Structure 1
Amino acid sequence: MSLNEEVELLRRIPLFAKIEPSKLKLLAFTSQRLTYKPGDVLCRQGDPGDAAFVIVNGEADVSVDTPSGPLTVAHLKQNDFVGEIAILCEVPRTATVAAVTEVTTLRIEKDLFFRLVNDFPQIAIEIMRVLAHRLERTTTDLREVSAKLKT
């Protein structure tokens, strides 16, 4: 894929839609394009958070370790963004992300991620929206589980 094609692909991702083309070229050039086969792990719960991922194509599951085994908590698809919590909070990975189908990602190193957030506050706003949506979904799930446990 050419640099211009990668820039066009990045422009379709809501997180990067408002970034000027020259900065998208820099992002495309400095991020790492990786492909995973079904079952491959993009990142593992407990590992250090050194990068975030944008799903370019394919699907992946997000799971957390529980006493009764892994629990799938989210399903990722094209244009989804994952791995930012470990970077933002400087904590180990909070979940494992594994490819369900063949998955192509852009791996964005921590330093580049912070440079982008600093240069483009709208990225920070979009990340807050994503995190708020995840929190709302988690709260709803917890409420449902709590109600089931009480019955």
Structure 2
Amino acid sequence: MCQLKGLTLTDIIETLKRVELFHGMDERQLTAVAQIVEPCVYAAGDVIFEQGQDGDALYVINSGQVEVRVQNDDVTDSAVYLGDGQTVGEMALIDQAARSATIIAVDEPTTLYRLPVAAFTRLCQMQTDIGYVLMRNIAQDLSFKLRHRHSDIKRSGGSGV
């Protein structure tokens, strides 16, 4: 499924420029990231990764759409649909823990850029500025999500933190 033919480094860089996770990176940094991503194409219905699998990569959605499904106590919730310029699997870059959701391609074709944890870690060891920008952006995103989660808890009568 990975290794899309006819794709140039410039194509990948242009996609990365649209992704919030990579905001603040200059052309050199984006080029370094683009060189380690693996372009992948999936047909509608293909499972990209499953809940419970080890987190081994981040995925950037270049084109198409994916569905995020979460299994809780024998009930499957279709949480959200994500599309062009969005990412899935960010937490893998931080902790490589088990996936918290199953991701399924909705459109045909769905093109993703896979950023393997091992390659990303090596890149960050060689170019710490890239790791700094990406981790800062992940932290900002998680902070935003956590604040909204606390807001939801307060509205439902819980006691946010």
Return the TM-score normalized by structure 1: 0.81
Alignment CA distance shift 1:104-1:82 (3 Å): same
1:106 matched to 2:113: yes
The counterpart of 1:82, out of the listed 83, 88, 102, is 88
Question: Residues of 1 paired with 2:154 and 2:115: CA distance?
Answer: 34
Q: Identify the residue that residue 52 of structure 1 maps to in structure 2.
A: 58
Residues 96, 141 of structure 1: alpha-carbon distance in 2 compared, 3 angstrom cutoff:
farther
Go from structure 1 to structure 2 and tell me whether the alpha carbon gap of 1:57 and 1:142 turns closer, same or farther (over 3 Å shift). farther
C-alpha distance in 2 between matches for 1:137 and 1:61: 21
| In structure 2, C-alpha distance between the alignment counterparts of 1:93 and 1:6, rounded to whole Å | 25
Q: Deviations over 1:19-77 (max 9, x none)?
A: 22233223222210011111111111111111111111211111111224211223211
Counterpart of 1:131 in structure 2 is: 142
User: Which protein is richer in helix relative to its size?
Assistant: 1
Structure 1 residues without counterparts, runs of 5 or longer? none
2:76 pairs with one of 45, 52, 70? 70
Instruction: Give 1:16's aligned residue.
Output: 22
Greater Cα offset, 41-50 or 17-26 = 17-26
Q: Figure out how many residues of one structure are paired with residues of the other and give that number.
A: 146
Contact 2:47 2:105 in 1 (8 A): yes
1:139 Cα deviation from its structure 2 partner:
4.0
2-side partners of 1:72 and 1:136: how far apart?
Answer: 22
CA contact (8 A) 2:22 2:134 kept: yes
Match of 1:3 among 5, 9, 13: 9
2:51 touches 2:102 (CA, 8 Å); kept in 1?
A: yes
Check the 8 A contact 2:71/2:77 in 1, yes or no: yes
**Structure 2 unaligned spans of 5+:** 1-6
